[in-house]
Amino acid sequence: MIKRVIVAITGATGCIYGIRLLQVLAELPEVESHLILSPAGIITAKHETGFDKKAISVLADVCHSHKDFGASISSGSFPVHSMIVAPCSMNTLGSIAHGLDNNLISRAAGVTLKERRTLVLLPRETPLHLVHLRNMTIVTEMGGIIAPPVPSFYQHPVNIEDIVNQTVGRTLDSLGIEVPDLVKRWEGLNKESTTE
């Protein structure tokens, strides 16, 4: 059965996470990816990665304007498996936490939550003030998953690609989508050791 996964890219630093997610999902025949780009996301993506709106859009199966409140994914009656916001700006986090539905990203995220589907946010800001932290708590209380894109150095990443792949793979773990060879899995400090 087809899995529709919404990927929203917003204007926080780290647009590469959303782009890599789309590249990985494009390799999975069972997944239909739906992309929403915020205007700030387009600016940061171009600045950080060189990918413009068109280069990102071709990675998705379906693209939606952030202004299109009539889009299929704005209704809970349209079957969607899950949604990821990667990266998630503090602006979009606040909009989702407070149910503002003021663009298609926060509308689709609100629909995902109300339909009790999986919503994963990769919020990016540092340091965090109280409202950022409270908004993350609110989304968690509503059933969303807050997964900040923080590297795991115990896996000894050697380049940015390793760091991005690990985060993307662990994000897909949250959706129940396992992609071979994307995540380095922890196998214990000493694989040979036996328990005493």
Ligand X SMILES: Cc1cc2nc3c(=O)[nH]c(=O)nc-3n(C[C@H](O)[C@H](O)[C@H](O)COP(=O)(O)O)c2cc1C
The residue type at 161: E
- Quick check: 10 and 88 in contact, CB under 8 A? yes
Residue 47 in contact with ligand X, rule: CB under 6 A = yes
String of DSSP letters for 142-190: TT-EE------GGG---SHHHHHHHHHHHHHHHTT---TTTSPPP--S-
Q: Measuring CA to CA, which residue among 121, 125, 151 is closest to residue 138?
A: 121
Which one of 15-23, 38-46, 49-57, 176-184 is the stretch in contact with ligand X (CB under 6 A)?
38-46
Residue 171 interacting with ligand X (CB under 6 A)? no
43 counts as binding ligand X under rule CB under 6 A: yes
9 membership: H or E segment, kind and range: strand 3-9
What is the contact mask toward ligand X in residues 110 to 129, using x (rule: CB under 6 A)? Answer: --------------xx----
- Residue 13 is a binding residue for ligand X (CB under 6 A): yes
Q: Which of 90, 96, 97, 147 binds ligand X (CB under 6 A)?
A: 90
Binding site for ligand X (CB under 6 A): 10-13, 38, 40-41, 43-44, 47, 89-92, 124-125
